[in-house]
Amino acid sequence: MTENANEKTLKYRAKAVNSHDFNSPVFFDRYAVLDVNPYASAFAYGRKKLYEKMNRIIDDRLDGKGDVLEAACGTGYYIKVLRANGYNVTGVEPADGMRERAQKKNPKTEIKNGVISALPFPDNTFDAVTSIELFRYLEAADIKQGYAEILRVLKPGGFAVVTLVNRYALDGFLFSYYFKLMLEKYFGKPIINYCDAVSPSETEKYFKDNFNVVASTESAMFAPLRIIYKLYPKLGEWCAKRLESFDEKLNQTDWHKKFAGHLIVVIEKKADAKENTNTAPVRHI
């Protein structure tokens, strides 16, 4: 049966929320590893590299002052980091298991229940919005609506930092994803989550074409490390430690962006933006 776009959007969204609700204890444990040894797993090392870059991007602009929304905050790890860096942080997260853990970790922070396509905040509220590993799970209509919502809640001159799946990452992640998609299509083996993957140049163009705003991209993590971690975690740790300075240098080169393990996008809301000037209408779900 061919689904219409709306059904597909809702199906992707439901999978993204339900799978994370179910896996919230797993996520919590993954972060516990990060506190003990950030080189212990591909997940921990990837997050370490993401946070270093995101913290630098945010601190360069806000210098520890301002209101930040952490969207799809999961179990609240990055909320804690942002708070420690001086920001007044609010969270939003639709999966109960994730949100409850985030609230426990950050008892004084307001963490609302909500999806990115209908953020429960007024226009022009935040200096910055962050969102780590959310958009990859969503269908095109939700992705567009989610970005429109981020731009709506940002103050004029504010910015967002989001992470996306890099289509040409050298870990071959997309091959295994396409294989899983094939199993779903031909053998009825349901896929846990769908995945949207993009390239740096098409992302920059996407924001110009759809929202008439500037977006720039950065990369993090030497992607083949993920394969080494998968084959033999201790070797992954050893390589990550030894390759870290090389990793840093590589990620400062423009050509490597396309092949890195993580893609980071910085989206700028115009300083003279009028309220609700985004192309997509806000749809409350």
Min dist CB 263 to ligand SAM, Å, is 14
Min dist CB 199 to ligand SAM, Å, is 21
84 φ/ψ angles, rounded to the nearest 5 degrees: -60, -30
Q: Which 94-113 positions form the footprint of ligand SAM (CB under 6 A)? A: 94-95, 98
Q: Which 242-281 positions form the footprint of ligand SAM (CB under 6 A)? A: none
Q: Which 129-148 positions form the footprint of ligand SAM (CB under 6 A)? A: 132-134, 137
Q: C-alpha 268: how far from its chain's center?
A: 16
Min dist CB 108 to ligand SAM, Å, is 19
Is the sign of the CA dihedral 55, 58, 59, 60 positive or negative? positive
Min dist CB 148 to ligand SAM, Å, is 13
What token pair was written down for 237? 């740790």
Nearer to ligand SAM, 13 or 53 (CB): 13
Q: Is 72 in the site for ligand SAM (CB under 6 A)?
A: yes
Give every CB contact of residue 176 below 8 A, 6+ residues apart in sequence.
none
In eight-state DSSP terms, residue 2 is P
Nearer to ligand SAM, 72 or 260 (CB): 72
User: For residues 234-260, b (16+ Cβ closer than 10 Å) or e, as one string?
Assistant: eebbebbeeebeebeebbeeeebbbbb
In angstroms, the CA 59 to CA 125 distance is 19
Q: Which 8-67 positions form the footprint of ligand SAM (CB under 6 A)? A: 13, 16-17, 20
CB distance 203 to 265 below 8 Å: yes
Count of residues in contact with ligand SAM, rule CB under 6 A: 19
Q: How many other C-beta atoms lie within 10 A of the C-beta of residue 9?
A: 20
Position of minimal CB gap to ligand SAM:
74
274 φ/ψ angles, rounded to the nearest 5 degrees: -85, 165
Instruction: Tell which one of 44, 81, 116, 165 touches ligand SAM (CB under 6 A).
Output: 116
Min dist CB 49 to ligand SAM, Å, is 13
| Binding positions for ligand SAM, rule: CB under 6 A | 13, 16-17, 20, 72-74, 77-78, 93-95, 98, 115-116, 132-134, 137
